[in-house]
Amino acid sequence: MSSCGSLAQQRVRDHALMTTLQRLGITIPIVQAPMAGISTPTMAAAVSNAGGLGSIAIGATDVAGARSMITETRALTGRPFNVNLFVHAEPKADEARAQNWLSALRPLFQIHGAEPPATLRKIYKSFAVDDEMLSLVLEVRPKIVSFHFGLPGADHIQALRQAGCVLMATATSLAEAHAVADAGIDIVIAQGWEAGGHRGIFNPAAPDERLGTFALTHLLVKQSRLPVIAAGGIMDGAGINAVRALGAVAAQLGTAFIACPESNADEAYRAALAGAGAKHTIMTAAISGRPARCLANAFTNWGEAGAPADIPAYPFAYDAGKALNAAAKALGESGYGAQWAGQGGPLLRPMTAAALVNLLWQEATVPTATVT
Amino acid sequence: MSSCGSLAQQRVRDHALMTTLQRLGITIPIVQAPMAGISTPTMAAAVSNAGGLGSIAIGATDVAGARSMITETRALTGRPFNVNLFVHAEPKADEARAQNWLSALRPLFQIHGAEPPATLRKIYKSFAVDDEMLSLVLEVRPKIVSFHFGLPGADHIQALRQAGCVLMATATSLAEAHAVADAGIDIVIAQGWEAGGHRGIFNPAAPDERLGTFALTHLLVKQSRLPVIAAGGIMDGAGINAVRALGAVAAQLGTAFIACPESNADEAYRAALAGAGAKHTIMTAAISGRPARCLANAFTNWGEAGAPADIPAYPFAYDAGKALNAAAKALGESGYGAQWAGQGGPLLRPMTAAALVNLLWQEATVPTATVT
């Protein structure tokens, strides 16, 4: 490869980057990750107003809640933001598995003076089968729509494209990235092993390659046809520049925003993330039924040591997980929360979302070292 | 943080980088990873002659073999190279566990017309207890000595420092990096989850944080006192620049060198790595007794699905693993080899070690994108 060849490739990459930012309507290649239950319209608007891409996650709410969140965000910013949807395979109820799970959880409920629920409910509807939510999204037409856990059907995607939405989807492997490209999605989000919260893997029952942010981002840049946004462990400007060096068009940060005042994280979660515990995260399916990276706590310890192997499917297990957390919190015990966090947690810096975006970009645009 | 502050920090980092390269006696911040059984004196010399840091691994050989490898490398290069040692905790023999393991392996031996060995031998001696090896190293005084799996005692380290050796050690977590710094080691090698081959974790029985290359490198740069060399999934100049953006002083690449003509990898291993199978690696302890990242093959499949949980300690289990591979290879079956590979395998490019170092550095020194 000649030096000229490399320079030409660099120009092609620069062009792809500018084109992607223009399509997203942003000026700074920083995406605030959608974090259901944690990110807020206020956070998303602040990030978008600062030039990045704010995100709201409507996968854990219904149509009325989603409409409210979108309306609230629009009231706070005239700039584009991202609306994120959960597109998991719809699970079948399995009452025997549910009862086995609830029996195993009973002692944890009882030490908090509570009893487990009588059964497990499917607390969220996948966007894949949610025609009402599709109608809402087509009505409000967010500039950007992103998918997590999988892809909706071709008709959904076609309708969203015709409505003018730019589409993004998470991939954790090259095979998923190919599926994303084949479905007509515009941008792929490479979610590395380091990432906090729910792992976007399409089929959690299949073997997981567990590709690190570094390896996954590089692989998708080289072998996927789509622009790549990298996610997983990115906490500052150096991190942003590292994934840009790999060829990513932007960086998506979630954990970095958890300690913002605009976040819904409770005090115990913020304290855990600010302390030594941030060094210890666990990928566990025991809380929700799907693998997710969480600060090590009482719930993840039980998941590692005491939980039955046959965890009810997402989101059935999450019904019990949320009930257990509520019972524990009522007694002042915070160790049963879904305290999602990525492996970069120890590098977190609490500040407002706008200040964080500004700082990140200031750090990222410091002239780089040239040692030759 | 002001822009001036960031520039000052950048200058400090540049200075640290130059100082580290000068201490190592190299001009290019690329380390060829020591890979016992795969890397060779020819490979190490070619890398060092090209301006990088070549490495030979003497952890899997005895004093006579080590002397021979060092002599051979010295005959091929006058430049510094790295001599790597295994410093695992010396395991106790556990005959009951060994017999249980050999019974479980018996069917795999038998389908290859063989029987398992009668017992398991401790095929390698840890440098921690190998006074003869210490004497050899003190006699030949390699410019650089590196440790994997842990650290030798203070007396060994003191003796090596007094002999003028620059010392490096692998860490997979911040706690290990602190231990490395506290022991008086000069440079820490951040081995991310993506890395191929044996994971350097000090105590494989303890919980493993499984930090990705991205998260680990960043964490050690920020919170360890030592210069950091990053390893795990790095395959080209963009990868080198990514870890430099995170603040690493150099990149260590292993898998990228496996397909070099100077490598000891057999044809089946090269073919597996060049094919679609490179996308699938597994962290398994079933082959050697310690976790190591391997191309998914018949042996790793058995490790995932059929192996007893109580694997004999490293290197006892490796005695059986090597015997099984020999039996299978005798029948032309290559799926029982220790086909170590990192998650970046699909990006491998076969060429000579010198050509690879030159290409990597050419790619890394292409002017970087500046999109602001």
CATH of the domain at A198: 3.20.20.70
On the question of pLDDT at A369 being above 90, the answer is: no
* Same domain, yes or no: B237 and B316: no
Which pLDDT band, with edges at 50, 70 and 90, does A370 fall under? Answer: very low
CA quadruple B25, B28, B34, B40: dihedral sign: negative
B367: chain A residues, CB-CB within 8 Å: 7, 10
CB contact under 8 A, B245 and A233: no
pLDDT at A8: 62
pLDDT in tens, A232-272: 999 999 999 999 999 999 999 999 999 999 999 999 999 99
Rounded distance, CA A17 to CA A27, Å? 11
* Same domain, yes or no: B66 and B132: yes
* Same domain, yes or no: B265 and B299: yes
pLDDT at A366: 77
Within 13 Å of residue A310, how many CA atoms lie on the same side as its CB? 10
Nearest to B214 among A174, A222, A232 (CB): A232
pLDDT at B306: 84
Residue-wise DSSP of A174-242: HHHHHHHHHTT-SEEEEE-TT--EE---S-TTS------HHHHHHHHHHH-SS-EEEESS--SHHHHHH
Within 13 Å of residue B116, how many CA atoms lie on the same side as its CB? 20
Kindly give the pairing relationship between strand A197-198 and strand B144-148: unpaired
Kindly give the pairing relationship between strand A81-86 and strand A54-57: parallel
pLDDT in tens, B335-364: 999 999 999 999 999 999 999 999 999 999
Rounded distance, CA A320 to CA A354, Å? 36
pLDDT at B2: 33
pLDDT at B4: 35
Which pLDDT band, with edges at 50, 70 and 90, does B17 fall under? Answer: confident
* Same domain, yes or no: B251 and B264: no
pLDDT at A57: 98
On the question of pLDDT at A365 being above 60, the answer is: yes
* Same domain, yes or no: B27 and B106: no
On the question of pLDDT at A372 being above 90, the answer is: no
Strands ordered across the beta sheet of B30-32:
B30-32, B250-253, B228-231, B187-191, B166-171, B144-148, B81-86, B54-57
* Same domain, yes or no: B282 and B157: no
List A residues 291-350 in contact with B (Cβ-Cβ < 8 A). 342-344, 346-347
On the question of pLDDT at A176 being above 50, the answer is: yes
Q: For chain A, give the percent of residues with pLDDT over 90.
A: 93
* Same domain, yes or no: B112 and B49: no
Strands ordered across the beta sheet of A54-57:
A30-32, A250-253, A228-231, A187-191, A166-171, A144-148, A81-86, A54-57
Ramachandran class of B353: left when φ > 0, alpha when ψ lies in -120 to 50, beta otherwise: alpha
On the question of pLDDT at B45 being above 80, the answer is: yes
CB contact under 8 A, A213 and B209: no
CA distance A262 to chain B (A): 22
Rounded distance, CA A132 to CA B49, Å? 66
Whether residue A59 is contained in a domain is answered as: yes
The mean pLDDT of A109-131, rounded to a whole number, is 97
CA quadruple A241, A246, A248, A253: dihedral sign: negative
pLDDT in tens, B274-299: 999 999 999 999 999 999 999 999 99
Question: Measured between CB atoms, does B27 come within 8 Å of chain A?
Answer: no
CA distance B155 to chain A (A): 31
Q: For chain B, give the percent of residues with pLDDT over 70.
A: 95
pTM > 0.80: yes or no:
yes
Question: Measured between CB atoms, does A245 come within 8 Å of chain B?
Answer: yes
Question: Measured between CB atoms, does A280 come within 8 Å of chain B?
Answer: yes
Rounded distance, CA A246 to CA A228, Å? 10
Which pLDDT band, with edges at 50, 70 and 90, does B33 fall under? Answer: very high
Which pLDDT band, with edges at 50, 70 and 90, does B8 fall under? Answer: low
CA distance B215 to chain A (A): 5
CB contact under 8 A, A371 and B17: yes
Question: Measured between CB atoms, does B231 come within 8 Å of chain A?
Answer: no
Which pLDDT band, with edges at 50, 70 and 90, does B192 fall under? Answer: very high
Please state the domain count of chain A: 1
The mean pLDDT of A216-241, rounded to a whole number, is 97
Whether residue A273 is contained in a domain is answered as: no
pLDDT in tens, A321-357: 999 999 999 999 999 999 999 999 999 999 999 999 9
Question: Measured between CB atoms, does B201 come within 8 Å of chain A?
Answer: no
pLDDT at B16: 76
CA distance B187 to chain A (A): 19
pLDDT in tens, A64-82: 999 999 999 999 999 999 9
Strand-pairing partners, residue B150, are: none
Whether residue A84 is contained in a domain is answered as: yes
On the question of pLDDT at A306 being above 90, the answer is: no
B193: chain A residues, CB-CB within 8 Å: 193, 210, 212
Lowest mean pLDDT segment, chosen from A163-177, B17-31, B134-148: B17-31
On the question of pLDDT at B14 being above 80, the answer is: no
Nearest to A369 among B10, B21, B236 (CB): B10
The mean pLDDT of B297-321, rounded to a whole number, is 96
Which pLDDT band, with edges at 50, 70 and 90, does B3 fall under? Answer: very low
Q: Which domain holds residue A134?
A: 3-90+125-255+350-364
* Same domain, yes or no: B300 and B354: no
Please give the interface size between A and B, counted as residue pairs whose CB atoms are below 8 Å apart.
183
Whether residue A142 is contained in a domain is answered as: yes
List B residues 43-62 in contact with A (Cβ-Cβ < 8 A). none
Rounded distance, CA A129 to CA A90, Å? 8
Q: Is A4 exposed, middle or buried (0-12, 13-18, 19+ CB in 10 A)?
A: exposed
Whether residue B372 is contained in a domain is answered as: no
CB contact under 8 A, A244 and B3: no
Kindly give the pairing relationship between strand B292-295 and strand B281-284: antiparallel
Which pLDDT band, with edges at 50, 70 and 90, does A367 fall under? Answer: low
The mean pLDDT of B67-89, rounded to a whole number, is 98
In angstroms, what CA-CA distances link B114 with A183, B95, B99, B106, B335? Answer: 50, 21, 16, 8, 16
Nearest to A223 among B211, B346, B359 (CB): B346
pLDDT at B9: 62
The residue type found at A113 is: G
* Same domain, yes or no: B312 and B192: no
Whether residue B286 is contained in a domain is answered as: yes
pLDDT at A371: 41
Residue-wise DSSP of B2-44: -HHHHHHHHHHHHHHHHHHHHHHT-SS-EEEPP-TTT--HHHH
**Nearest CA-CA partner of B169 in B202, B131, B137, B136:** B202
pLDDT in tens, B211-231: 999 999 999 999 999 999 999
CB contact under 8 A, B219 and A347: yes
pLDDT at A1: 32
Q: For chain B, give the percent of residues with pLDDT over 90.
A: 93
The mean pLDDT of B164-171, rounded to a whole number, is 98
Strand-pairing partners, residue A81, are: A54
Whether residue B370 is contained in a domain is answered as: no
CA distance B207 to chain A (A): 10
On the question of pLDDT at A3 being above 90, the answer is: no
Residue A271: CB atoms within 10 A of its CB come to 12
* Same domain, yes or no: B267 and B213: no
Q: Is B15 exposed, middle or buried (0-12, 13-18, 19+ CB in 10 A)?
A: exposed
List the alpha helices (DSSP H) in chain A. Answer: 3-24, 41-49, 63-76, 95-110, 131-140, 154-162, 174-182, 213-223, 237-245, 255-258, 267-274, 298-305, 316-330, 353-364
Calculate the CA A130 to chain-centre distance: 20
* Same domain, yes or no: B32 and B147: yes
Taking CA atoms, what residue in A is nearest to B212?
A: A212
Whether residue A262 is contained in a domain is answered as: no
pLDDT in tens, B234-266: 999 999 999 999 999 999 999 999 999 999 999
* Same domain, yes or no: B49 and B133: yes
In angstroms, what CA-CA distances link B267 with A369, B323, B339? Answer: 40, 19, 11
CA distance B118 to chain A (A): 35
CB contact under 8 A, B218 and A233: yes
pLDDT in tens, A23-51: 999 999 999 999 999 999 999 999 999 99
Calculate the CA A283 to chain-centre distance: 14
Rounded distance, CA A365 to CA B10, Å? 12
Which pLDDT band, with edges at 50, 70 and 90, does A6 fall under? Answer: low
